Chain A
Amino acid sequence: RKEVEQDPGPFNVPEGATVAFNCTYSNSASQSFFWYRQDCRKEPKLLMSVYSSGNEDGRFTAQLNRASQYISLLIRDSKLSDSATYLCVVRGNNNDMRFGAGTRLTVKP
């Protein structure tokens, strides 16, 4: 079993749609959680950290459920520019970072 698992995707949605990505992790001792975005042939960049109480940044909402070892990302009012691969990332207590395989999102006009 992979340490971080994500929805396989791809997700193809029209502009304005709401889309949700899920992620589960296996290490219950994980300390920190993130969503990164990676554009084609580019390096990953931090989208947002994920906090236990849930957090929102504009159209993006992240949720964490430690009991279920589950993380989610919700994107509202999708834009064409949201098209990318979204990576779920978990940091362990040794500061090692574990990435999911990523979920590809394509937003179409």
Chain B
Amino acid sequence: DTGVSQDPRHKITKRGQNVTFRCDPISEHNRLYWYRQTLGQGPEFLTYFQNEAQLEKSRLLSDRFSAERPKGSFSTLEIQRTEQGDSAMYLCASRPGASYNEQFFGPGTRLTVL
């Protein structure tokens, strides 16, 4: 499968714990996006990378959230001191260069904070 992959697919954690999610984009896609989606809502933009540079961050991305893409390939999203309100589906998407519009989404990581 050469699509976007995310790991883990499901994560259950207790409030206050830290969690880290991984996204592997389609090879050679230099744009990578993170979104959060809750039930009945569309994906909410969190952050965007062009290669290893984080170019845009949403105000939704509080200080507890951090994202990296150290080598311009895979990316990680870390949530520190999780809260129940962090429970959501975290989606990653990638696309090739600027002239190509379509984003390809991964299957998402579903986070449940107890």
Interface residues of A (CB under 8 A from B): 4, 32, 34, 42-46, 49, 87, 91, 94-102
- Determine if B91 and A43 form an interchain contact, defined as CB atoms under 8 angstroms apart: yes
Which A residues lie within 8 Å of B107 (CB)? Answer: 42-43
Across the A-B interface, how many residue pairs have beta carbons closer than 8 Å?
Answer: 51
Which B residues lie within 8 Å of A45 (CB)? Answer: 105
Please give the distance in Å from A34's CB to the nearest CB on chain B.
7
Q: How large is the interface on B (under 10, 10 to 19, 20 to 34, 35 or more residues)?
A: 20 to 34
- Determine if A43 and B55 form an interchain contact, defined as CB atoms under 8 angstroms apart: no
Of A49, A94, A96, A102, the residue contacting B41 (CB under 8 A) is: A102
Cβ of B74 within 8 Å of any chain A Cβ, yes or no, is: no
Of B31, B40, B98, B105, the residue contacting A44 (CB under 8 A) is: B105
Please give the distance in Å from B53's CB to the nearest CB on chain A.
12
Of A32, A97, A101, the residue contacting B33 (CB under 8 A) is: A97
